[in-house]
Amino acid sequence: MVRVDGNGKTDSLIQVRGLDKTYRRGGEEIHVLQGLNLDVEKGDFVAFMGPSGSGKTTLLNLLGGLDVPSRGSITVAGDEITHMSGNKLTHWRARHVGFIFQMYNLIPVLTAFQNIELPLLLTKLSKSERRQHVETALSIVGLADRAHHYPRQLSGGQEQRVAIARALIADPTFLLCDEPTGDLDRKSADEILNLLTRLSTEFSKTILMVTHDPMAAERAQATLHLNKGVLVEGAHAGGPA
């Protein structure tokens, strides 16, 4: 059960408390996130909506350990990540976070297989074990026959499925999706959303997704709205309901 009031269970998978993020532009301070609380439990599929500049991507970056908050704490599976060193955070990301980006961000000179294999290069798995994992991931995303295709030889929807397979391959604690359907046509977007829904329901994956698309948000179990740095449960974009 997703909560934003700071009164979630103490054993929630993700616990965010009093999160602030402030940027300084020129002499001016911009408060992107203000005192944000969030509790996400294992297997939750949460959508974040909100107008541009509302802080959705900033929140995702903070949850993924790509950025550090100005104040507050983020605890994931018992690990407080806000005070981790850069190196520790890098290792933590490799173990706990699967990123899915709007522009797929595949490495163009690597095949689908090699792109998916990347996170496994950081593990001690043997070559044959890595191959087995990649083949499984490829079959989950329905691209077993595209293993040796380069990103330029794939459609947008297929590229995003490869990106999802790459995010899944190391079996992370949760997936962070930043507008995963933002660059896709409706049909491809639906395929991706079907896949994410399946990952949530069939594989109990915890998914946090930023989206502008109400149809995408509908697939999530809960939709949270960000407006002016404040997270509101069950509200509509543009302001609290």
**Distance between first and last Cα of the chain:** 20
CA distance 93 to 167: 11
- State yes or no: residue 107 binds another protein (CB under 8 A): yes
By beta-carbon proximity to another protein, the closer residue of 44 and 117 is 117
Q: Which helix (H) or strand (E) element contains residue 25?
A: strand 14-25
- State yes or no: residue 113 binds another protein (CB under 8 A): no
Our CA angle for 9, 10, 11, nearest 5°, is 90
**Binds another protein by CB under 8 A, chosen from 8, 69, 119, 180:** 119
- State yes or no: residue 93 binds another protein (CB under 8 A): yes
- Residue 59, helix vs strand vs coil: helix
Q: Which helix (H) or strand (E) element contains residue 75?
A: strand 71-76
Our CA angle for 54, 100, 172, nearest 5°, is 115
Stretch that binds another protein, among 45-53, 72-80, 103-111, 228-236 (CB under 8 A): 103-111
Smallest separation, CB 10 to another protein (Å): 28
- State yes or no: residue 101 binds another protein (CB under 8 A): yes
- State yes or no: residue 122 binds another protein (CB under 8 A): yes
Give the interface with another protein as residue ranges (CB under 8 A): 61, 64, 66-67, 86-87, 90-91, 93-95, 99, 101, 103, 105, 107-110, 114, 118-119, 121-122, 127, 166, 170
